[in-house]
A and B are shown apart, each in its own frame.
Chain A
Amino acid sequence: MKSIASLGALFLFAACPGERAVLNDGEGPSALATNDAAYLVQLGLIRGHLRVGYALLESGADAAAATHSKHPSDELYADLEDAFAARGKAGFAPALSELATAFEEGDLDDARAAHNAVREAISDAESAVALSPAKGAEVILGLLRTAAWEYGIGITGGEVANAHEYQDAWGFTQTAKDWAATLAERDESAAIFSAIQARLAELDDLWPELTPSEVTPTMNPAQLYGAAAEVEIMALELTRTSQ
């Protein structure tokens, strides 16, 4: 018998208090310097924003693409600076700045190139962490919980209340899927993460369009909360097998 507490107390909360990695009671942004899962979740949120920004850019929604692409430097990046220093990483403020500049100048080719540069920089920042399967599960859970929270703001009372948050939820969920795919390639935990990957693939109906025009019956935030809970239960097997 093992409880999720063994995966770390990071995800004992019912919902995310706003958009940032969910930390334990009393922990501030400085915990990102010591808590590897929270650090990777914060980087994952940045990835999620960029993912949405790039997809919108490719679909011709330049203004919305700019908003999402500039969000990380506006709100998420500052909390990571101590965390980069603690892990001997330089961070990627200049790359984010170039991305913002490209959008401000309306140079979309530069924006695409800057997107790629930021993603590479994030990969480098992520490489500072030796990721165990249990920690990987925490990262996926953190992203899903945040996605559920955002989706609940985006789709409320059968209406699209906030398209931006709805899109954020898509970006975070895609990032969670990427993590599941990466971890499923490892022999030590392939079965569990393949199952998680399959469960996450069932969530696509939540986003029939990237820019929603109407709410369909499948667009229910509870689906995302429920999927996160199922993933949490699947991940319990990781602590059982590690005993």
Chain B
Amino acid sequence: MRAAFTFLSLLLAAAPVPAEEVVNVYSARHYDTDLALYDRFTEATGVVVNLIEGSSDGLIERIVNEAEFSPADMLITVDAGRLWRAHEAGVFQPVQSEVLESRIPAHLRHPEGHWFGLSKRARVIVYNKEAGLPEGVDTYEDLADEGLRGRVCMRSSGNIYNLSLLASLIEHHGTQAAEEWASGVVANFARDPQGNDRAQIRAVASGECGASIANTYYIGRFLGSEDGEEQAVMDGIGVLFPNQDDRGAHVNISGAGVTRHAPNRDNAVKFLEYLTSEFAQRLFAEGNNEYPVHGAATGPIAELGDFREDEVDANALGANQAVAVMAFDRAGWK
């Protein structure tokens, strides 16, 4: 009896302890709501989320350098252009998931499942409310009209949001027409490109410029602000979703993909599917005043109302970026 007990004790002592289930996430998003979201995933599944944060380009470079020794299971980044770059660098592996394919519209994911859009932002026209919407402005294309000489403010052409917008124009109109548009906008500049989207919004509110373009999440931040000065900025601008009578407003995404050498692939797919659940979509989108990829908008941006979005393939936004850089350069957009 004693011998049997000892043998059993030895067996138990030698039994391997189950390894903790984990998913290693490299993320370029830095929002507290994301952390709450990850905690909830752990509570629901027992899978611990190990989060490594960094810049999009830095994380892509890391995964490339780490190659087959990378512990990364998933990369979350912002902008279709960066997702495209990551895919081109061989960062992702394809994922087939009926859950993801049913929840995420086809134009917001890679056709072979290398990456998936998780939230959206629209690039809208903002105008000085007191001066009113400049006459005849209804589309991005209208910002190049001669009637707007000296009234348009823009951030630099190197900004990835502007690159993705021009990439969409290239996709719709071709490179030459897109470049002519950029030249027309440059001719309308009220000042040299400077500042971020917030700076453009402030310049429009102050009357320094008549119109500009900005991502909706910046407007959401002003809308949700309790700061009096920021509320005054918001009161000073009007927001127009462009191209509502034709292709719709340009939309970009935050997205994610399972990495090529993911050591915890199944957990990564599970996590990706979780991020598209109704609960997660709400938190993921609200954390940065974005729109979910499925379901209704919530938070401050819901006040902006529904709009028609350009359903151009998000892959094209990345694929056209190199051409967009050259077109901006030739147009003299600094």
- Residues of A that sit less than 8 Å from B by CB: 1-5, 12-15, 148, 152, 220-223, 225-227, 229-230, 232-233, 236
A14 engages B53 (CB within 8 Å): no
B224 an interface residue at 8 Å Cβ cutoff? no
Instruction: Choose among A1, A222, A232 the residue that contacts B35 (Cβ–Cβ < 8 A).
Output: A1
B283 touches A (CB below 8 Å): no
4 tightest A-B CB contacts, nearest first: A226-B69, A14-B61, A222-B67, A14-B58
Q: In the assembled complex, how far is the CB of residue A200 from the closest CB belonging to chain B, in whole angstroms?
A: 14
Give 24 pairs: A residue, B residue, CB < 8 Å, sorted on A.
A1-B36, A1-B38, A1-B39, A3-B35, A3-B52, A4-B51, A12-B53, A13-B54, A14-B54, A14-B62, A14-B65, A221-B65, A222-B67, A222-B70, A225-B66, A225-B67, A225-B69, A225-B70, A226-B66, A226-B68, A229-B72, A232-B52, A233-B50, A236-B51
- A5 contacts which chain B residues (CB < 8 A)? 30, 53
Q: What residue in chain B is nearest A25 (Cβ atoms)?
A: B55
Given contacts A1-B51, A229-B52, contact A12 B66 (CB under 8 A): no
In the complex, the answer to whether B71 meets A14 with C-beta atoms within 8 Å is: no
Question: Which residues from B are CB-within-8-Å of A223?
Answer: 69
Q: At the interface, yes or no: B104 with Cβ under 8 Å from chain A?
A: no
- B58-92, CB < 8 A from A: 58-62, 65-72
CA of A148 to CA of B70 in the docked complex: distance in angstroms?
13
Asked if A4 and B53 sit within 8 Å, CB to CB, the answer is yes
Main secondary structure of the interface of B (DSSP, over half): helix
Distance of A225 Cα from B57 Cα, bound (Å): 16
Asked if B42 lies at the interface with its beta carbon under 8 angstroms from chain A, I say yes
In angstroms, how far is the closest chain A Cβ from the Cβ of B279? 16
Do the beta carbons of B51 and A229 come within 8 Å of each other?
no
Asked if B51 and A14 sit within 8 Å, CB to CB, the answer is no
B65 touches A225 (CB 8 A): yes
Query: In the assembly, what is the distance between CA of A220 and CA of B35, in Å?
Result: 34
CB contact list, B17-63 vs A, under 8 A: 24, 30, 35-36, 38-39, 42, 49-55, 57-62
Chain B residues engaging chain A, CB cutoff 8 angstroms:
24, 30, 35-36, 38-39, 42, 49-55, 57-62, 65-72
> Which single member of A3, A221, A229, A230 contacts B53 (CB below 8 Å)?
A3
Query: In the bound complex, do residue A222 and residue B65 qualify as a contact, i.e. CB atoms below 8 Å apart?
Result: yes
How far apart are B2's CB and chain A's nearest CB, in angstroms?
33
* Beta-carbon nearest neighbor of B68 in chain A: A222
Task: A229-B70, A236-B50 given; name 15 further pairs at CB < 8 Å.
Answer: A1-B39, A1-B51, A2-B51, A4-B53, A12-B58, A13-B58, A14-B54, A14-B65, A15-B61, A220-B67, A222-B66, A225-B62, A226-B69, A226-B71, A229-B69
Residue among A12, A15, A229 with most chain B CB within 10 A: A229
Decide if A226 touches B52 in the complex (CB within 8 Å).
no
Tell me which residues across on chain B come within 8 A of A236, comparing CB atoms.
50-51
Are A227 and B58 neighbours in the complex by a CB distance under 8 Å?
A: no
- On whether the beta carbons of B67 and A226 are closer than 8 Å, the reply is yes
Q: Which residue of A lies closest to B42 (CB)?
A: A1
**B36, B61, B62, B71: which contacts A233 (Cβ < 8 A)?**
B71
| Given A225-B62, A229-B62, also A1-B49 (CB < 8 A) | yes
In angstroms, Cα B52 to Cα A236, docked, is: 9
- Most B CB atoms within 10 A — which of A3, A220, A225? A3
In the complex, chain B residues whose CB is within 8 Å of the CB of A230: 71
CA distance A1 to B68 in the complex (A): 26
Q: Which of B38, B42, B52, B61 has the most CB of A within 10 A?
A: B52
B202 to chain A, nearest CB (A): 23
Residue from the list A1, A15, A233 in contact with B65, Cβ < 8 A? A15
A230 and B70 alpha carbons, distance in the complex (Å): 8
A232: nearest residue on chain B (CB-CB)? Answer: B52
Chain A residues near B67 (CB-CB < 8 A): 220, 222, 225-226
With a cutoff of 8 Å between Cβ atoms, the chain A residues found around residue B52 in the complex are: 3-4, 229, 232-233
Q: In angstroms, how far is the closest chain B Cβ from the Cβ of A135?
A: 18
B69 touches A222 (CB 8 A): yes
Most buried by A among B49, B53, B59: B53
B322 smallest CB distance to A (angstroms): 21
Kindly provide the distance from the CB of B290 to the nearest chain A CB, expressed in whole angstroms: 20
- A223 vs B35: C-alpha distance in the bound complex, in angstroms? 29
- B62 to chain A: which residues have CB within 8 Å? 14-15, 225, 229
Contacts of A148 in B (CB 8 A): 65
- Knowing A1-B39, A5-B30, A14-B62 touch, does A227 contact B69 (C-beta < 8 A)? yes
Chain A residue, CB-CB nearest to B32: A1
Q: Which of A148, A226, A227, A232 has the most CB of B within 10 A?
A: A226
Q: Hey, which chain B residues are within 8 Å of A13, CB to CB?
A: 54, 58
Tell me, in angstroms, the Cα distance from A229 to B50 when the chains sit together: 11
Complex Cα spacing A230 to B52, Å: 11
Query: Which residue of chain A is the closest to B72 with respect to CB atoms?
Result: A229
Nearest residue in B to A4 (C-beta to C-beta)?
A: B52
Contacts of B57 in A (CB 8 A): 14
Residue on A nearest B70 in the bound complex, by CB: A226
